[in-house]
Amino acid sequence: MVVLYGGLLVLTPVFYGVLLGRLPTEISHRGARWSEVADEALGTFENAINSLQIDSSDLRAKLVQQELRLDRPVRGTSGRHALIETAA
């Protein structure tokens, strides 16, 4: 029984540390204690990443619109000169 409990006491932090990137702040006879501060920070970082992903998607859409606008020929011109005049 001691071997089983001791194994679980060691394997649980190893499992969470390797697979999830989380390590306990304290290991005692009652078990592992995990940091709540790290969980809160993780939530904050996830929100920031989601916000940046939305911003980058919006910027990408605007970039595509600008590229399409530049690719349209100007009236009275054709071919490569239209792109040069539009860009200038």
The answer on 49 and 85 residing in a single domain is: yes
The answer on 13 and 47 residing in a single domain is: no
Is residue 33 within 8 Å of residue 24, measured between CB atoms?
Answer: yes
Number of domains in the chain: 2
Q: Could you list the pLDDT tens digit for every one of the 88 residues in the chain?
A: 788 877 777 787 777 777 777 777 777 777 667 677 767 787 889 999 999 999 999 999 999 998 888 877 656 555 555 555 555 4
Contacts of 26 (CB under 8 A, 6+ apart): 32, 33
The answer on 67 and 80 residing in a single domain is: yes
Distance CA 79, CA 88 (A): 15
The answer on 84 and 55 residing in a single domain is: yes
The answer on 85 and 48 residing in a single domain is: yes
Distance CA 20, CA 74 (A): 55
What is the domain range of residue 53?
Answer: 36-88
The answer on 29 and 43 residing in a single domain is: no
Q: How far is CA 87 from CA 51, 60, 65, in A?
A: 32, 19, 14
